Amino acid sequence: YIGGFERKDIEDLLDTMDKNYIGWANFLGPAIMKNSERPELSEELTQSFCSTDPVIARQFAEVTFFADNRKDLQQVKVPSLIMQCTDDLIAPQEVGEYLHENLPKSTLKVMKATGHCPHMSAPAETVAIIKDYLQGFRLN
């Protein structure tokens, strides 16, 4: 498995959140969003971080980054869509490929969208991929 973060990196991230939450948000927003040619997207994500209670944001980050559910993937029995952005700091392409290889009934779609937030940076592409995927299912 290639991808993800080292424990020390996560601990440093959490420490930064504790010491300077606004600084953390101002650094991480643009890093996660990418799309430097569209600074309004980074500003929106940063503002979202800044408006979140730091205690809740830290708890979310801790649970998210320390969770490791790789052993659970083979137990998933429902079809799954993996939407993998390019140049994603949080989930690089190796993560999407790993999920696809280890998640039965998965479909991997590599997006043109960059960063970790395609719902913000590429909503039309995001919706199109979801609609295309759902075309194969009958929802009751």
Locate the domains of the chain by residue range: 7-66, 70-134
**Mean of the pLDDT values across residues 105-120?**
97
Task: Place 137 in a pLDDT band, splitting at 50, 70 and 90.
Answer: confident
Helix ranges (DSSP H) in the chain = 7-19, 21-33, 39-50, 54-66, 93-102, 118-121, 123-134
Closest by Cα among 122, 61, 133 to 86? 122
Q: Residue 72: what residue type? A: D
- Model confidence at 114: pLDDT above 60: yes
pLDDT confidence tier of residue 5, bands split at 50, 70 and 90: confident
What is the mean predicted confidence (pLDDT) over 59-87?
94
pLDDT at residue 44, as a whole number: 96
Q: Which residue has the tokens 């395609």?
A: 118
DSSP state of 36: T
